Amino acid sequence: MNRFLKGHVIRNIIKRPVRSVGLAALVMLLSFSVFSGTLVIASMRNGLGSLKDRLGADIMVVPYEATTKSNLENIILQGNTGYFYMDSSYLKKIASIEGIGQISAQFYLASTSSGCCSVPVEIIGFDPDTDFTIQPWIKQSYHKELKELDVVVGNDLNAFVGDTLTFYGVDVHVAAKLDKTGTNLDTAVYTNESTIKRLIQSSLDKKMNNFADIDPDKVVSCIMINVAEGYTIEEVLNDINIHVRKVEAIKTKNMISGISRSLSGVSDVIGILVIVVWILALVIMIIAFTVSSMERKKEFAVLRAIGASRGRLAGLVMGEGITISLIGSLVGIVLGTLLILPFSNFLEEAFELPFLLPKITIILLAALMSAVISLVAGSLACIIASYRISRIDTGLILREGN
């Protein structure tokens, strides 16, 4: 674009602020819709994939009472464990069922009051000898075995390696901080079996929890199971639910698959809405650019009379449209960034689904795609308006003016 065009483009945009702002707002809406919709769906899929990796089990077995006071989807999809217990004898009973491959117990303790603890969190204990779900995740950040009173903390907790936390009067040492999952697991604390039993006993001794007296050495909260090769999840799950009373076996991966299908539906709806917004924005921009150009017929006729070519006039309209589209698309992307990135935790709670922002490269790619789509819409509108301008009869327009 030469100096003549640049000067006229900027001057015309500033001289017509209402038209310029209105067109930029249309492009902004389009850019915001594409960028934020893409980012939300990518974050949900990312969070669900992360949680699927963290679960790592085919079946979860919990006390039947847990299903009456806790939403199973919250337990599985959000990590809202609370606390519940069943006799540890269930572990041996379930392990004897045909088709069990890997089996390991977990222990839950909710520190819901800041009066008892440094921070109110979910504390999850595991058996280091049999665990196959938590330790692989921990080893991504910490390659040693957890010692007595060592804990690892979720990514969202305001605690760091080397810190000392207090739970029910017991001081524990933060050995590692975990990668983010986009679920409430990011605000949990993880430790080995001996430490969690000590914390449970301390909470009982101090009467800081409202569950009945239990013996920490004789209870578990949850049993994680992987099915042996040659058996189906349905077979093993049905055997547990039929032959073991007072427990509920849950097929975790199927529930996640169901949510994945729901996300696909949401993704399709957002995609359709983006297409509708794109078409509406394109039509309105074409009308706006064309009407605006027709209102400036005399201006263009004068420019033609003093030597401006048809191509230069078309370039002037194109320059204005592309500049406005670029500004609008950038504002839409910035607005989407400000609304989604800082409030990812709020969105996770609002959707009640795992929500994990993708890597920066994916975010930048989504921003680039949104900008390109917005610029394409603006350019198409400009091309049509430019074609109308190129058909102007200069002599007729000037005679009309006289």
pTM for the full predicted model: 0.64
Measured in Å, how far apart are the chain's first and last C-alpha atoms?
A: 33
Average of pLDDT values for 342-360? Answer: 74
- Sign (positive or negative) of CA dihedral 194, 147, 226, 124: positive
Q: Which of 2-16, 151-165, 195-209, 354-368 is least confident?
A: 2-16
- Sign (positive or negative) of CA dihedral 275, 281, 283, 285: negative
Q: What is the pLDDT of residues 102-142, one digit of tens each?
A: 999 999 887 655 555 666 788 899 999 999 888 888 888 88
Per-residue pLDDT at 36: 86
Spell out where 64-117 has E strands.
Answer: 86-87, 100-111
How is residue 32 written in tokens? 């915001």
Per-residue pLDDT at 44: 78
DSSP of 176-244: EEPPP-SSGGGGEEEEEHHHHHHHHHHHHHTT-S-SPP--GGGEESEEEEEEPTT--HHHHHHHHHHHS
Which of 137-175 are b and which e, b meaning 16 or more Cβ less than 10 Å from the residue's Cβ? Answer: bbeeebeeebeebbbbbbebbebeeeeebebbebebbbb
Residue 380 near residue 282 (C-beta atoms within 8 A) = yes
CA dist list (Å): 217 to 89, 110, 114, 221, 298 = 11, 18, 26, 12, 91
Q: What is the distance, to the nearest Å, from the Cα of residue 78 to the centroid of all Cα atoms in its chain? A: 13
pLDDT at 24 over 90: no
pLDDT at 22 over 60: yes
pLDDT at 216 over 60: yes
pLDDT at 78 over 60: no
210 vs 232 pLDDT, higher one: 232
The candidate with the shortest Cα–Cα distance to 88, out of 191, 222, 272, 229, is: 222
Per-residue pLDDT at 259: 63
% pLDDT > 90, the chain: 23
pLDDT at 370 over 90: no
The top-scoring range by mean pLDDT among 32-41, 235-244, 279-288 is: 235-244
Grouping H, G, I as helix, E, B as strand and the rest as coil, residue 154 is coil
Per-residue pLDDT at 53: 64
CA dist list (Å): 67 to 60, 78, 122, 176 = 12, 15, 18, 32
Q: What is the pLDDT of residues 296-305, one digit of tens each?
A: 666 666 666 6
CA dist list (Å): 281 to 95, 269, 270, 290, 380 = 61, 18, 16, 14, 11
CA dist list (Å): 308 to 4, 296, 302, 304, 311 = 10, 15, 9, 5, 8
Q: What is the distance, to the nearest Å, from the Cα of residue 61 to the centroid of all Cα atoms in its chain? A: 28
How is residue 249 written in tokens? 């076996």
pLDDT at 334 over 80: yes
What average pLDDT does the chain have? 79
Q: Which of 8-12, 194-198, 305-309 is least confident?
A: 305-309
Band (pLDDT 50/70/90 cuts) for residue 196 is very high
Biggest CA–CA distance in the chain, Å, is 101
Cα(366)–Cα(364) distance, integer angstroms: 5
Q: What is the CA radius of gyration of the chain?
A: 31
The top-scoring range by mean pLDDT among 65-79, 215-229, 295-309 is: 215-229
Cα(153)–Cα(174) distance, integer angstroms: 7
Average of pLDDT values for 212-221? Answer: 84
% pLDDT > 70, the chain: 72
Band (pLDDT 50/70/90 cuts) for residue 92 is very high
Q: What is the pLDDT of residues 272-289, one digit of tens each?
A: 877 787 787 777 777 777
Average of pLDDT values for 326-333? Answer: 91
Per-residue pLDDT at 228: 93
Per-residue pLDDT at 225: 94
